[in-house]
Amino acid sequence: MDKNFFTIFKTFFKVGTLLLGGGYVILPLLTSELVDKKGWITSDELCEYYALSTSLPGIIAANTAIFTGKKLLGAKGAIAAILGVTMPAFIAIILIASILSEITNIQSINYIFWGVGIGVIALLFFAVREMWNKCVTDKFSGIIYTICLILALSGKISPAIIVIFALIAGLADQFIKDRRLKND
Amino acid sequence: MIKLYLLLFAQFFHIGVFSFGGGYATLPFLYHIADKYYWFSQSQLTDMIAISSITPGPIGVNMATFSGFTTAGILGALIATSAIMIPSFIFVSVVYNILDKFKTNKYVISAVKSLKPAGCAMLSAVGIKLLFTSNLHLIGILCLIAFLISGFYKKQDPIFYLGISAIFGLIIGHLQWIGV
């Protein structure tokens, strides 16, 4: 298939529709669409974009879409990809949110949402465990985790401040290691 | 109204700049916004997470659209969703041109190594706060413990936990065991 704005948009729209849950699922979906079916990009490139996307701020699936779109057709491709991957989510949520305000006065719906609140907390803790396994791997990351947890629990500190603290701590750690190497 | 749109844009732009770790990483920011601006309540956010977990699209996009819509209608949804995406666009465009240098730079590697545990810690804090602020009752806490224990052995799809807890809520609610 030809690589143009519309075909890229269409491909990512399909991926966005199939994407359920976390953005992690985007890698297998994109591999099936772009590598296997269309041959637009290699699997290695895609994996690299995904890995980089997890190291950048923002929504991982969106970052991956922008990287891939850019590779396919420059800035135009990036815009097509991001529009495509976002639009199904946008439409679905607008529809549900519009209905939601109409039905919350039904008592059964309130019971359901009370119950679902339990499921949400379980999902949060599963996500925490998954992230923990990936990123808290040594003493340094353990210390960062503990300090940030205390900061986040202690009150109304903005999450952005905590992120900036972690950024500075990470850079300082590397800086100190460099200095030690130089002195030895 | 214009002021609300601008504030909405600024808030979601700043989430796009500072959230690390994907998926649920935007949640600590959204709970902070709920605390500060009262655009939506904490319990509304919990409902949104449930719905976002079972609708198409990345959860981060779903949450941005949902909270933008709740705050200021369709235009609000459009503003919030684009605002959270613009930083991504800028970051990716810059990194794309210096790909190899970025990948191997030891300061980048070290910063990322520290930012991810921070994202994880903030999400843990959201979970812990929700435990104490949600109106779970004893029966809800027992259900949660059952989910956690079973999930740590074998994790199911999100829809499994949400489905079961929805039915659970419906039954418990109609039995009048809780005052919802």
Q: What is the mean pLDDT of chain A?
A: 91
Q: Angle B88-B94-B99 (CA atoms, 0-180°, nearest 5)?
A: 110
Tell me what pLDDT residue A21 has.
63
With respect to residue B159, please indicate whether it lies within any of the assigned structural domains. no
Tell me what pLDDT residue B125 has.
94
Q: What residues of chain B score a pLDDT lower than 70?
A: 179-180
- Give contacts of A 155-184 with B, CB under 8 A: 156, 158-160, 162-167, 169-171, 173-174
With respect to residue B131, please indicate whether it lies within any of the assigned structural domains. no
Whole-angstrom Cα distance, residue B33 to residue B40? Answer: 8
Q: What is the mean pLDDT of chain B?
A: 92
Q: From chain B, pick out residues whose CB is under 8 angstroms from the CB of A125.
A: 127, 148, 151
Which pLDDT tens digit goes with each residue over A41-60?
999 999 999 989 989 999 99
B53 touches chain A (CB under 8 A): yes
Reported as a pLDDT band with limits 50, 70 and 90, residue A144 is very high
With respect to residue B96, please indicate whether it lies within any of the assigned structural domains. yes
Q: Do the chains contact at B29 and A159, CB–CB below 8 Å? A: yes
Whole-angstrom Cα distance, residue B77 to residue B9? Answer: 10
Which pLDDT tens digit goes with each residue over B128-164?
999 988 888 899 999 999 999 999 888 888 889 999 9
Tell me what pLDDT residue B180 has.
57
Domain range for B49: 2-107
Tell me what pLDDT residue A22 has.
61
Reported as a pLDDT band with limits 50, 70 and 90, residue A3 is confident
User: CA-nearest residue of chain A to B15?
Assistant: A58
User: CA-nearest residue of chain A to B30?
Assistant: A159
> What percent of chain A has a predicted confidence (pLDDT) above 90?
76
Q: A146: which residues sit within 8 A by CB, 6+ positions away?
A: B121
Q: Do residues B56 and A96 touch, judged by C-beta distance below 8 A?
A: no
Tell me what pLDDT residue A59 has.
93
- Cα–Cα distances (Å) from B1 to A137, B39, B63, in that order, read 47, 13, 22
Q: Can you name the residues that pair with B56 across neighbouring β-strands?
A: A20
Q: From chain A, pick out residues whose CB is under 8 angstroms from the CB of B19.
A: 57-59, 159, 163
The answer to whether residue A145 scores a pLDDT higher than 80 is yes
Reported as a pLDDT band with limits 50, 70 and 90, residue A23 is low
Q: Based on the structure, what is the number of domains in chain B? A: 1
With respect to residue B177, please indicate whether it lies within any of the assigned structural domains. no
Task: Of A31, A145, A68, give the one whose Cα is nearest residue B20.
Answer: A145
ipTM summary value: 0.89
Tell me what pLDDT residue B54 has.
86
With respect to residue B85, please indicate whether it lies within any of the assigned structural domains. yes
> What percent of chain A has a predicted confidence (pLDDT) above 70?
97
B24, B43, B93 ranked by CB distance to A124: nearest: B24
The structural domains of chain A, with segments of one domain joined by +, span 5-103, 107-183
Q: Do the chains contact at B134 and A21, CB–CB below 8 Å? A: no
- Give contacts of A 56-115 with B, CB under 8 A: 56-63, 66-67, 70-71, 75, 78, 82, 85-86, 88-90, 92-94, 96-97, 100, 107-108, 110-115
Q: B12: which residues sit within 8 A by CB, 6+ positions away?
A: B64, B68, B79, B80, B81, B83, B84
Q: Do residues B8 and B80 touch, judged by C-beta distance below 8 A?
A: yes
Q: Do the chains contact at A163 and B55, CB–CB below 8 Å? A: no
Tell me what pLDDT residue A1 has.
66
B24 touches chain A (CB under 8 A): yes
A132, A159, A173 ranked by CB distance to B110: nearest: A173
